[in-house]
Amino acid sequence: MPHTAQDWPIGAALLQFPDTAPDGTPVQDAPAATWSAVLNEVAAEGFAHVDLTDRWLRPGTSPMSA
């Protein structure tokens, strides 16, 4: 079903979040708990959608996608 101007989802950008965990591990290679914390923070602000930029997390190339 196509969206209208009234119900178009607004997604949070993730560009402002660092692409490395506090220990220096790239978020892409870090455990899910590392990036889950960021997604929980975004959800707590009321967002149900995010723009997964490939600088932050690349779900298509994660070991979990294999």
Burial class, 56, CB count within 10 angstroms (exposed 0-12 / middle 13-18 / buried 19+): buried
Distance from C-alpha of 10 to C-alpha of 25, rounded to nearest angstrom: 30
The residue-averaged pLDDT of 31-43 equals 90
Distance from C-alpha of 32 to C-alpha of 22, rounded to nearest angstrom: 14
Res. 5 pLDDT band, cuts 50 70 90 = confident
pTM equals 0.71
Query: For the segment 8-30, what is each residue's pLDDT rounded down to a tens digit?
Result: 888 998 888 988 888 998 888 88
Instruction: Please give the structure tokens belonging to residue 3.
Output: 């969206």
Instruction: Please give the structure tokens belonging to residue 10.
Output: 């607004």
Query: For the segment 44-60, what is each residue's pLDDT rounded down to a tens digit?
Result: 999 999 988 777 777 77
Is the pLDDT assigned to residue 66 strictly greater than 70?
A: no
Return the pLDDT at 45: 95
